[in-house]
Chain A
Amino acid sequence: MLKRKMFVPILLSGILLLSACSDSDNASGNSDSKSGKTEIKITWRGLGEQDNIKRYLEGFEADFESENEDIDIVLSPITASEGDYFSKVALTMQSAETAPDIVSEDTFMLSADANAGYLKPLDEYVESWDEWDNFIENIKSGTTGDDGTVYGIPTTTDSRGIWFNKEVFEAAGLPSDWEPKSWEDVYAAAETIKEENADVVPFAMNVAKANGEAVSMQTFEMLLYGTGETLYDGENGKWNVNGQGITDSLVFVDEIMNKRDLGPSLSIALNANYSSVMTQDLLPTGGVGMVLDGNWNIAHYTEGGAHPLEDIEATLGFVPFPTKDGQSPGFITMSGGWGWSIPEKSKNHDVAWKVIQAMSTEDLQTKRALTGGTLAVRNDSAESSDYLERPLIEQATKALENANFRPKNDLYPNVSIEIQNAVEAVASGTMSPEEAAANYKSKVTDIVGEENVY
């Protein structure tokens, strides 16, 4: 009998205990932690052990906290594949309990997240901020929504091109100051490498859906914009679905991966770790001849990176990617970048802004560009001597001359997924370039509406 009598109170107290626990959880998510400091949670896409942003932020955290004793910076990376990162960030920003105070946003997601109401407009803040004029004008447009409102402060930008291993080139009898003028030149160099050494992967690019946006931007758009076409006509607000350039770009993927067999095996190409295997492991050791990728990979080869090289420029080259037949302007790059934004659901907008301001000084922006291997977003940082002395910076900046930006449209992320599907389908031999282009056309038409395609 005693046991039965005890049961209900025990059950009740258990429930009370559980709810008490959840209450205290909520409290710790609030701004007032036990120490009385304001917690500012910073979220970015973590990369595990080789995380340049983490290295940079840890340095920043220590300096900032010693100067601002009332603020506690909490580093809260989301370690996920590129695609998953954006889903997870969107989910955390839906609730005040989980929203970070500062979030790292890729410029291509910014419009969509802003239109979803996740991001706080920063116009008021930047108006009274004298440093804002020091940011490079066209990079500011990357963190401005399609309504003209500023939703983020740029922190990195980038260019893309062909990384090549000079030792592999030398062994194959190719010049170490190689500069391709057309896609044919790229095929030719890759075929020469293949003939010389069958164990070396001649040419690699992002083709797996697992690599998310990198497939759209580093591969497909670099090709498409090199055919003279664009993805989206911003003036009329219409998407390109019929262009020959779409098929041509997919033909390039098909030629490299299947017809001429110049790419890596599918086990590597379709692996989620493709990027780190290629850029951190195979490229610096001569396991691959050419890699179509971003300039930021330089960070892997400098001190503290994943694979430091003694003399980077002696081993590696970085050249702008040529247009299809060498047509004007000769080479192109896609340019993107990331910025810091403040989620609308954060409870500490003003303090978060203070932290962003502190991260955006000339010094820290220069440091950010150096740690991450990215390009500077401030005019003064871009002129600092440390930055200009970085290996291959000249080539990376040169590529920017003909930079294109991704469509400013909140449906771009959805279209981008269809690009990734098309590229993977062709690369894996599931579809021919023509079939994939037709499928792309029907999918994109579904997404944006029949009246918005050309």
Chain B
Amino acid sequence: MEVTPNISGKKKISDNIKSSIFLSPALILLLIFFLTPMLLTIVFSFTNLALTGTQAQNLKFVGFDNFVQMFNDAELYNSIGKTLIFVLFSAIIGQCFLGFLIAFLMKGKNSTFRRAIGITVIAAWVTPEIVVGFSWVAFLGDNGTLNSIITALSGIEPIAFLFEYPMVSVVVANIWRGTAFSMMAFQAALDDIPLEVEEAAVMDGASRWRIVRNITIPIVKGTITTNLMLVTLQTLGVFTLIYAMTGGGPGNATMTLPIYMYQQAFVSYQLGYGTAISLVILIIGALFSLLYLRFLKVKI
């Protein structure tokens, strides 16, 4: 009994050692499989790394050549534009707004109703991306469900949605898939708002809209920022869905940066240029994050 303080001191040290021992595999794995590839990406973006041809044998540092090439690459500007459109409509306007709306409308509704809606929306979220891609290809195809309904109702010829409205198609598919994430985040935040605050506002005669604007949104602002950031970064990197639905086409109509990067690296065999493009994606992601933090003035 009399040596208790001593033991607890030792225990603390040995706990620290223990926990670092137990954490070290994770740290080492992170270093090997996460940090190394990231650093390599930066290194390779300054080389002429190629999959085949003379360059494949003569790996050289080419300085800023890849980045100079980028500045003159009309296709890259097109891809940046397509990426911004895709992110703006499918992530910011689509997923965040719709997610908030669903969460808001479900607040305080009876639990069976909430569960039914929740499961429906989340079903899209748990479906693997590639399966979502194929489902939408099947849904929008010439003989797909949507065209069958349109033809049956109006008798007009099937519309080749994926070729005539490719960007709209992939945006809708991504909203369908991703809304659940925002909905869940907002649901959790909205449930945390004390009922008394809103009740007090109602007593004071505030309109519904006023309550949302002046009470609900300020309280969940932190969640909005985090959610915007997560959803934006996630959408910036969407590859499988677009690749499965349109392959970046027709032409370059849905050629977002990840698809363009893949094309350059594995179709045109220019791995060096491809990795340079991946840095552009990284920079755009970082810019978006900064923008949100600045604009919404939230500390994380």
A positions within 8 Å CB-CB of B: 83-84, 86-87, 90-91, 109, 112-113, 115-118, 208-210, 265-267, 270, 272, 410-411, 413-414, 417, 421, 424-425, 427-431, 439, 442-443, 446
Contact = CB atoms under 8 A, between A and B. Distances in A.
Given A209-B247, A428-B163, A417 B53 contact: no
B249 interface: yes
Contacts of A431: 251
Interface in B133-153: 141-142
B198 to A, nearest CB: 50
Given A117-B57, A414-B270, A446-B72, A266 B250 contact: yes
A424 B160 CA distance: 16
Given A117-B56, A118-B52, A265 B250 contact: no
A414 B270 CA distance: 9
Contact of B53 (A84, A112, A210, A439): A112
B6 interface: no
Interface residues of B, number: 31
Contacts of A265: 142, 160
Contacts of A91: 51
30 contacts: A83-B267, A86-B52, A87-B51, A87-B266, A90-B52, A90-B269, A109-B52, A112-B53, A113-B52, A116-B52, A116-B53, A116-B56, A117-B56, A118-B56, A209-B247, A265-B142, A266-B160, A270-B250, A410-B54, A413-B52, A414-B270, A424-B251, A425-B251, A427-B250, A428-B249, A430-B250, A430-B251, A439-B74, A442-B72, A446-B73
B252 A267 contact: no
A265 B141 CA distance: 12
9 A-B pairs with the lowest CB-CB distances in the bound complex, closest first: A430-B251, A428-B250, A116-B56, A266-B163, A425-B251, A112-B53, A115-B54, A112-B52, A410-B53
Contacts of A117: 56-57
A218 B167 CA distance: 29
B234 interface: no
B283 to A, nearest CB: 22
Interface of B: 50-57, 69, 72-75, 141-142, 160, 162-164, 247, 249-253, 263, 266-270
A91 B55 CA distance: 14
B69 A446 contact: yes
A266 to B, nearest CB: 4
Contacts of A116: 50-57
A430 B53 contact: no
B267 A87 contact: yes
Contacts of A267: 141-142, 160, 162-163
A431 B54 CA distance: 32
Contacts of B162: 267
B265 to A, nearest CB: 9
B53 A413 contact: yes
Nearest to B18: A4
A413 B160 contact: no
B2 to A, nearest CB: 24
A270 B249 contact: yes
Nearest to B57: A117
Contacts of B251: 421, 424-425, 428-431
A411 B54 CA distance: 9
Nearest to A409: B53
Contact of B268 (A84, A210, A417): A417
B142 A115 contact: no
A109 B267 CA distance: 13
Most B C-beta atoms less than 10 A away, residue of A267, A427, A428, A446: A267
A115 B163 contact: no
B52 A424 contact: no
B252 A421 contact: yes
A270 B51 CA distance: 26
A270 B166 CA distance: 12
B52 A430 contact: no
Nearest to B164: A266
Contacts of A209: 247, 249, 267
A98 to B, nearest CB: 14
A92 to B, nearest CB: 11
B160 A115 contact: no
Contacts of B252: 421, 425, 430
A210 B163 CA distance: 14
Contact of A414 (B73, B160, B163, B268): B268
B156 to A, nearest CB: 15
B72 to A, nearest CB: 7
B75 to A, nearest CB: 8
A111 to B, nearest CB: 8
A414 B52 CA distance: 10
Given A86-B52, A113-B52, A267-B162, 4 more contacts: A87-B267, A90-B52, A90-B269, A109-B52
Given A83-B267, A87-B51, A417-B267, A115 B249 contact: no
A84 to B, nearest CB: 8
A218 B73 CA distance: 28
B244 to A, nearest CB: 11
Nearest to B73: A446
Most A C-beta atoms less than 10 A away, residue of B51, B52, B253, B266: B52
B60 to A, nearest CB: 14
A115 B141 contact: no
A425 B163 CA distance: 12
A211 to B, nearest CB: 11
A427 B247 CA distance: 15
B295 to A, nearest CB: 34
A431 B142 CA distance: 24
